[in-house]
Chains A and B, each alone.
Chain A
């Protein structure tokens, strides 16, 4: 219990610094599988996490892959990515699948998924 407490008290400080104390992304639509693509090279003086994101996203990279790569919680990565989106340094390719779990993608869409799986 005491060991856990020590770990817990250290980690939020780092996260607080990274996000400037914000707890929510300004871009509410970022999904785990939204693909992020860099539109620019890192600029001198940028926060190192922003630099890393711009480098990784030279190829499309899902939000969740960024989180794993940067070793940060998903919600923190969403905030960092939304900073870059606001500044126009990355673009986001949003999933088209319906968000509500009671809705299903149309059959033609699912057919494409099936074909892809069969071809594995």
Chain B
């Protein structure tokens, strides 16, 4: 009586779903997160606005000054109004968005590279290397970010020339900002990566790789690193938000991207002299910054949940 006959499929009370990869599971969980999906859609819209909008409005138009219509309120011809020297604000938000977003993503690339490099070396080798690298990391973290950003922006100042890329001129200050943002934001990621390496380097799969003579760099980048991809992705996503806000702050203070290249931040720079008379100067670029950062934060939160549903939020 130990053998039961074949169980009819339709009556099988217990079945198992096919196993999913980490990515698939994460995507399913992400999809359920309403705020995150909303954020992703919003972000997509903003990206499209900035980059596809370039087909509707040329950059020359965005930089075209016309002092006779300076500071005019939103109208059908200039839906967002004009700025202090008569440039169309709508067009400038499109091109400004391009720069702000490009800076955001590029800065994160710098941040990831630095953070992974330092974190993995520190975590894997330990000892003196770890001590020195972490000391440096701690030192930089101890300096309030806004100070560091401003001093570094001034430091690199006018040292980098303008570059020509895909038929457009990018102010050298864009490179500066990307560098400055990246170099001031890698520290938390380095710590996270280091922590991951510290815990993973004692795992059996690492011993196995070492025992079979795998070169160290391969162990680090091909074996251990892929296992810590989740916190890196989350940190990178949230890093874009930080970079966008950071760029806005230093451009607002006049040390960021220099006109005529527009960014959402430097569009607000002169605005506070005209708070009363021309609120459209700052409302539109400011709203764009807010929406961008908001959508990124939603997405980042959703990602964090998706990769680790045991984590605390929601």
Decide if A and B are genuine partners.
no
Q: Which residues of A contact B (CB under 8 A)?
A: none
